[in-house]
Structure formats: C-alpha cells, structure tokens
Amino acid sequence: MTRWQRVLVLMLAMAMLAFAVGAGCSERTPRAAEPAVVFDAARAWADLETQVAMGFRVPGTPTHREVRDWLADQLRATGATVMLQPFSHELGGSTVQMWNIIAEIPGHGPAPRERVLLAAHWDTRPTADKDPDPAKRDQPIPGANDGASGVAVLLEIARQLQAHPISRDVQVVLFDGEDYGPGLEDMLLGSAHYARNLPEQKPDWGILLDMIGDTDLAIPREPYSEQHAKAVNDRVFAAARRLGYLRTAGMPGFVDAPGAYMITDDHVPLNEVGIPTVDLIDFDYPYWHTLADTPAKCSRESLRIVGMVVLSAIQAE
Ligand SMILES: [Zn+2]
C-alpha cells in the first residue's frame, strides 16, 4: 500500500464513519413535533369497566348516587378541587335530582390563564329505545360507549394533568341528565343547567367527548361544532395529525372531514352561551341506545387515541 493508498483508505473509512454516525443520529433524534404526552390507557379502560360494573347510572336510582360519589372521589384523588352542582328535573309529575360533577385543575402559566372546559356525560339512558328487540326497549342501557367512555378518558386526563401540569386552567365537567329523555326536551339537562349558571370564570373554549370508545373508531368534524367552534376543531385535528392518529385503512382514529350527522349534544347549550365547544363523537355505532352497548364493543386503544389527542390539543400553543 502506497502512502496515497493509505490516505485514500483513511479518507474512505472516515467518510463511512461519518455516514454511519449521521444515519444513527437521524434515527435516534425524536421528531421535533413529538409532544410529551402520556396517557395510561389501561387505567382509563379500568374506569370504563368499573362504571359499567357498578350498574345503570339512571338519575333517581341508588346506583346513580353511588357512581356520583365514586366519580367525585376519583377526581378528588387527582388533587383537583371538586364540587357537585345539583339541579332537579320534573317529568311525568315526579321530580328527579341530578348533579353535574365539576373539577378544577389549575394551570401553571402566568395569570390570567386561558381556561379550557373538558366535558362528558356520566348518566346513562333509562330506556334502550333503539334495541332490536321491542320487548327490551324499556330496560336501561349499560352505556359502556354512551357515557362511560368519555368519562373514563377525562378521569385519566385529570390524573395526567396533576402529574404533568399544563399552562392553561382546566375545568372537567361531568354532565348529568344528558340521556334522560325520552324526548330531546328532557335531555341535555346538565349542560343546559351549567350554561344557565356559569361559573364566575367562564371557560374560553371546550371539548366534549361522547361515544368515543367504539372499537371501530372514526371521529369526524361534527358539523355543528365546525359551524360554531371551527378553531377548536382545527386544534384537535392538528393534534391528531401530529400524533399520527388520523384514521387509515382498518385502523381506528380521527377523520379530518365533515361528519355525516349534525349532532344535538351537550356542546349545543355551551356554544349558545358563547363557549366555543366541539363534540368529538363517533355516531356510527350500531349499539347506540341498545342493551348491547357493552365494554365488548369498546377498546382500550380508542380511549388511548382520544386521550392522547385531547391532551396534546390542550397543551399546544
Ligand atoms: Zn345516548
């Protein structure tokens, strides 16, 4: 080997080393857009199962009160300040007592801080009026997806916000009486009561979760939300894109396109009093308001996707 050959070999070796180091670095370096979001989907799943196992969360029943206390305890255990907002509703000559459950989780940014509302309904429908078997339509639904899924994600988000505070104040509100019925005039009761009795510090914007546990998850831009709170939807779908949770063939996730159904849900009374709020809902759920709305139709992975996207959306600038 001549001196020039040795120099050539040395240069070649250095070039190969530089290439290898460079390639290694680019593999190890996290993508700049990757946010520090943690969500324990196993814990959220356990909370979904517990709610269903405790029984039907039908206003006016002893189970309803038991679950109310259990939910308040779960939120208190995160360190949040929790209050019950009681109200009553008259139907068919009888008065039914209901409670919104409100948890305050202060942010750590400089005051005045932006204030975000995260909501879901904790009650379940007294009647399975969409059940394929007419003989069963007067029975209460288990409400694994319709009720428990959104609540489960919010309980875990409350825990994560205690461990990893964000700059914004967060108010978690579990609405009662969303699904009471039978007709729409006897539904959305908790959100309507909240909207008529706003806290001193009104939230600046909000995200509502309803029916987000479906195994075959597909959450579109709900049209009423898009009309009244487009900026919040943009924030949510940007988070879904950042995290890689836009739905692809066969995989559950968010669908960045208008939904087929305009949904009347707890976000309507909120938007009406000037809190721009989106409804994250997958209404393509064959077990809606049937006895088959059980944990078997839901998945831990769907709870993870929604929990991660909401956490990322509320901590982004
Ligand atoms: Zn419902």
55, pLDDT greater than 80: yes
State the chain's mean pLDDT as an integer.
91
Distance from the alpha carbon of residue 289 to the mean position of ligand 1, in angstroms: 6
| Residue at 2 is within a domain | no
pLDDT digits (tens, 9 = 90+) for 81-118: 999 999 999 998 899 999 999 999 999 988 899 999 99
* Integer CA distances (angstroms), 3 to 15, 147, 189, in order: 18, 78, 88
For residues 253 and 246, the answer to whether their CB atoms sit within 8 Å is yes
Distance from the alpha carbon of residue 216 to the mean position of ligand 1, in angstroms: 18
Give the amino acid at 201.
Q
Distance from the alpha carbon of residue 75 to the mean position of ligand 1, in angstroms: 23
Owning domain of residue 206:
41-315
Cis peptide before 112 (omega within 30 of 0): yes
| Residue at 9 is within a domain | no
Distance from the alpha carbon of residue 173 to the mean position of ligand 1, in angstroms: 17
| Residue at 24 is within a domain | no
Distance from the alpha carbon of residue 23 to the mean position of ligand 1, in angstroms: 52
- The CATH number covering residue 91 comes to 3.40.630.10
Count of domains for the chain: 1
Distance from the alpha carbon of residue 130 to the mean position of ligand 1, in angstroms: 10
Spell 139-178 as b/e; 16+ CB within 10 A means b: ebbbbbbbbbbbbbbbbbbbbbbeeeebebbbbbbbbbbb
| Residue at 171 is within a domain | yes
Sorted by sequence, the CB contacts under 8 Å of residue 12 that are 6+ apart come out as none
pLDDT digits (tens, 9 = 90+) for 283-308: 999 999 999 999 999 999 999 999 99
168, pLDDT greater than 60: yes
pLDDT of amino acid 109: 84
